[in-house]
Structure 1
C-alpha cells in the first residue's frame, strides 16, 4: 500500500526558515544537559538496592527519567514493587499524549515509528514543537533523542559503577542526588500560575500523605492536584460576570489565546 502524503506543517509565512545547524545546536544543548543527569539516576538506583544490570536495563528500555526516579525512589522507601511500578507507569502516560501530537507533526514513515516512539519524552517533544517546519522538527527530535539516549545510558552506567565503588550512598548523601536533579529539571517548566499552583498542591499532598500511606501511593494521590486546580479555575471562571461566555470564546479560539498557554 502506498504511503499517504503527510499534511503540511502550517507556519507563519513571516517566520524565517531555521538552518539545520541551529536546530542541531539547540538539540545538542538539551540532549547533553539532560543526558548527564543519568549519573544521578545510576547512583539513586544503586542506592535503592538495584543491581548494575537492573539499573542499566531500566535506562535502556524505560528511558523516561521521571518514571525511573519514581520507581527507584519508591523501592528505596520500602514500597511494594507493584505500587512503585504503578506510580512510574502513571508518570509515563504523559508520553502517550506527546506521541499523538508528534505523530502529526513529524509524520514519520510507518517502519520508523516504533523506534521513534521510544524517544518520545519531555525533551524531544519540547525541541520538536519549538521548530518552525516539519524538517526542522524531525532534525530536532532525532538529534535530541539520539544524544539524550546515548548519554543517559552511559552516565547511568557510570553512576551505578560509582555508587558500587563508594558503598553506602546514604553515608555520602548521594541518595538525595536523584530528587535534587528531578526538582532542578522540573522547576524551570513551571511558568504559569496554574502550573505552580498544581505543583505546590501536589507537593503538599505527597508530603502530607507520606507518613500514612505505603511508599509509592502518595505520588499517585498527588496527581489529584491537577483536576482539583482545573475544577477550581472552572468554578471561578463561571462565577465571574460573563465568565461562561469568555470560557466558551477561549475554547473556540484555541489554546494559544488562553492565559496559561505556552
Structure 2
C-alpha cells in the first residue's frame, strides 16, 4: 500500500499537469475529463494535447494515440493470467493496464501478490490521475510546462525503482540497455512518446527461447 500510494501520488501530480496543459491549449473541459476517465493513458493524452495545440485534427490525434499505445498488446499477452482468470474481469482490468501497474505487478514476484499489486496500483493510479486532472483544469495554465517542477522525472524514476529487482538478471540488463540506447538515439528524430516504442528494438538482445519473467523456455 505504501509503495502503491507513493507511485499514485506521482501519477496524480502528472495528471494535474495534463489538466493544466489541456486548459492552456483550450481543449474543452468535458473532453479533457473524458480522456482521463475513458482513455486513461498519460502518454497518449499528452500527445493528443500537443497535436491539437499544434493545429492537428482529431484523426491525427487518435492515430498517434493508438500507435503510442501499441505496447499494450504485448502487455496484455503477458499480464492476462495475472490480471484475472475470468474474461469479464480481465476486460475491466485491461482499463487499468498502464506502464506503472504492469511494472508494479511484475515486481511482486508472481502469484497472488502480483495480482493484488496490479489491482491496487491500477485502481489508485486511476483515482489519483483523474483527481489530478480535475485540479489541473481548475488551475488553468498555472503550470504551463510539466517539466518546470521536475514532474517529467516522476514517471521514469518510479518505473526504474520498480524494475531494479528484474535488472539483476543479465538478459534483462542487456534488453534494458539496448532499449534505453535506442530510445535516446531516436529522441531527436521522433515525436514525443514514439522513442519509447522504438526502444522495443532492445528485445532483439533477448536470447532465443528465453523469457523475461525468469529465463524459462517459451
Map of 1:153 onto structure 2: 130
For the 8 Å contact 2:47–2:193, the answer to whether it is kept is: no
Q: Does 1:194 align with 2:151?
A: no
Change in 2 beyond 3 A, CA 1:196/1:151: same
Change in 2 beyond 3 A, CA 1:200/1:51: same
Whole-angstrom distance in 1 between the partners of 2:197 and 2:102? 24
Q: Does 1:252 align with 2:209?
A: yes
Change in 2 beyond 3 A, CA 1:144/1:76: same
Change in 2 beyond 3 A, CA 1:128/1:26: same
Change in 2 beyond 3 A, CA 1:123/1:82: same
Structure number, greater radius of gyration: 1
Give the Å deviation of 1:33: 2.3
Whole-angstrom distance in 2 between the partners of 1:127 and 1:223? 18
Map of 1:53 onto structure 2: 30
Q: TM-score, normalised by structure 1?
A: 0.66
Map of 1:205 onto structure 2: 189
The equivalent position to 2:107 in structure 1, one of 130, 144, 165, is 130
After superposition, the C-alpha distances for 1:214-245 in whole angstroms (9 at most, x for unaligned) are xxxx4587578447x659x77xxxxxxxxxxx
Map of 2:151 onto structure 1: 181
After superposition, the C-alpha distances for 1:68-95 in whole angstroms (9 at most, x for unaligned) are 1111111112223322221111111212
Give aligned pairs, total: 199
The farther-off stretch of 152-161 and 180-189 is: 180-189
**Runs of at least 4 residues off by over 6 Å:** none
For the 8 Å contact 2:16–2:136, the answer to whether it is kept is: yes
Whole-angstrom distance in 1 between the partners of 2:131 and 2:30? 13
The equivalent position to 1:84 in structure 2, one of 61, 74, 78, is 61
Whole-angstrom distance in 1 between the partners of 2:80 and 2:93? 10
Cα RMSD (Å): 2.9
Change in 2 beyond 3 A, CA 1:132/1:183: closer
After superposition, the C-alpha distances for 1:43-70 in whole angstroms (9 at most, x for unaligned) are 0111112111111000000001111111
Change in 2 beyond 3 A, CA 1:51/1:94: same
Q: Does 1:33 align with 2:7?
A: no
Give the Å deviation of 1:119: 0.2
For the 8 Å contact 1:35–1:152, the answer to whether it is kept is: yes
Map of 1:104 onto structure 2: 81
